[in-house]
Amino acid sequence: MIRDSTIAEEIQPLRHVRVVQPLAMTDEECRAWHTFRGQNRALDSPFFALSYARAVARHHPGAKVAIIRDDHQIVAFLPYHLRTKLHARVGLGTRLGGHLTDAWGLIAPSGFRISSRTLMRLCGLHYLPFSYLPQEQRMVGVEGGRLVAGLAIDLTMGSRQYRQQKTVTDTAFFKDLARCKRRLAARCGPLVLCFQQPSPERHLDHLIDRKSEQYRRTNVYPALDPPWTSRLLHDLTRTDDGECVAVVSTLYAGETWVASHIGLRNESILHYWFPVYNVALKAYSPGHLMLDSMIDHAASNGVRRIDLGSGTQRAKRKFANMSKSYYSGVWFQPGPRAIACKIIARLGIGMPL
């Protein structure tokens, strides 16, 4: 029986939790995961796909999933990560996939509820800092300490109508973008976008190299430097699961490379993930031209929404026509273990993902 209140749950706790690597889940557990996602539209991000969790597990041993049962019925899943053996010993978790994951939370049907404290106890965790928890997760009883704004591009009306509406609301920006496109085409040749590279390996290697250069140049954490991350990205391009497949896109002006992007796709939803552009063409706003071109080709490729994740940077605001919200915060069990975990997390003890 699925309980509909946190109070009832605390009086009669859930009876059983099995913690395994995602690759060790049974067929019954996999079916339940797919069923819950199908029942809950708030879980439509490709980061909530079971195939994403299993891909992460193939390349990093710390991937875990807690399978929560009420009596003999599976009622929820919590995918999470233990970065190191030390973190596993003290019960310090993080969201599955760590810094690569832009949407995370409980996989559960709409009517299920659980408190974060009960969830931590069941999973054997004492401290779990997180971000990218969609606001809709409050419907299952969990949330964070702070709401962070996010944005998306709704293209259900089609690319042409979207462009007409945005041109009216921000005429100067889109006129300037059209001018950049004309100037770049005059210098290098017409702009051509390949929305999804059929053989993405070489293009993805180029993207990862350029993105790593960008991180070093801008003094930002090198998210793609750990070897397991590039292996994961390549793995995701080879999946045949429509709920989570990596899409590698490239934009050229004549023979000149302008920009590249890898995103995660769930059917008609594309998550804008890792873009990179040719710094020699910075005067032409190549990053903006990349997203603009992807919007133009979205409808013909079956994409109806482009998620831009959390944050409201100027570039995102200029293109977005839809808002989303995410929680960030910490779940913990009160006590000395949680205090120790907090110290370890703040000092960065243990290798990052």
pLDDT per residue as tens digits for the range 105-160 = 999 998 899 999 999 999 999 999 999 999 999 999 999 889 999 999 999 999 88
Q: Is 97 left (phi over 0), alpha (psi -120 to 50) or beta?
A: left
Asked whether the beta carbons of 118 and 10 are under 8 A apart, the reply is yes
CA distance 80 to 77: 10
- Which residues make Cβ contacts (< 8 Å) with residue 145, sequence separation at least 6? 327, 328, 329, 330
Confirm or reject CATH 3.40.630 for domain 6-148+327-347, answering yes or no: yes
Query: What integer is the mean pLDDT of 205-220?
Result: 96
SS3 108: coil
Cα separation, 142 vs 223, whole angstroms: 28
Numbered ranges of CATH 3.40.630 in the chain: 6-148+327-347, 156-303
Q: CA-to-CA distance for 180 and 178, rounded, in angstroms?
A: 5
pLDDT at 351 (0 to 100): 56
Longest dimension (CA), the chain: 71
Q: What CATH number is given for 156-303 in this structure?
A: 3.40.630
| DSSP for 228-256, written as a single string | HHHHHHHHHHS---TTSEEEEEEEEETTE
Q: What is the rounded CA–CA span in Å between residue 16 and residue 142? A: 19
- Give the number of C-alpha atoms closer than 13 A to the C-alpha of residue 50, restricted to the C-beta side: 24
Q: At a CB cut-off of 8 Å and minimum separation 6, what does 346 contact?
A: none
Query: Exposure of 185 by Cβ count < 10 A (0-12 exposed, 13-18 middle, 19+ buried)?
Result: middle
169 exposure class (CB count in 10 Å sphere: 0-12, 13-18, 19+)? exposed
| 11 band by pLDDT with thresholds 50, 70 and 90 | very low
Contact 58, 23 (CB under 8 A): yes
Residues 290-332 pLDDT 10s: 999 999 999 999 999 999 999 889 889 999 999 999 999 999 9
First to last CA, the chain: 37
Q: What is the pLDDT of residues 244-272, one digit of tens each?
A: 999 999 999 999 999 999 999 999 999 99
Phi, psi of 56, rounded to the nearest 5 degrees:
-60, -45
Helix axes 50-59, 27-39, angle to 10 degrees: 130
Say how many C-beta atoms besides its own lie within 10 A of residue 173's C-beta.
18
pTM of the model: 0.92
d(CA 132, CA 150): 9
**Which residues are CB-neighbours of 281 under 8 A, at least 6 positions away?**
184, 253, 256, 258
Whole-angstrom distance, CA of residue 105 vs CA of residue 40: 13
β-partners of residue 146 are 328
Per DSSP, the three-state class of 180 is helix
Q: What was the pLDDT predicted at 16?
A: 85
Give the mean pLDDT of 32-59: 96
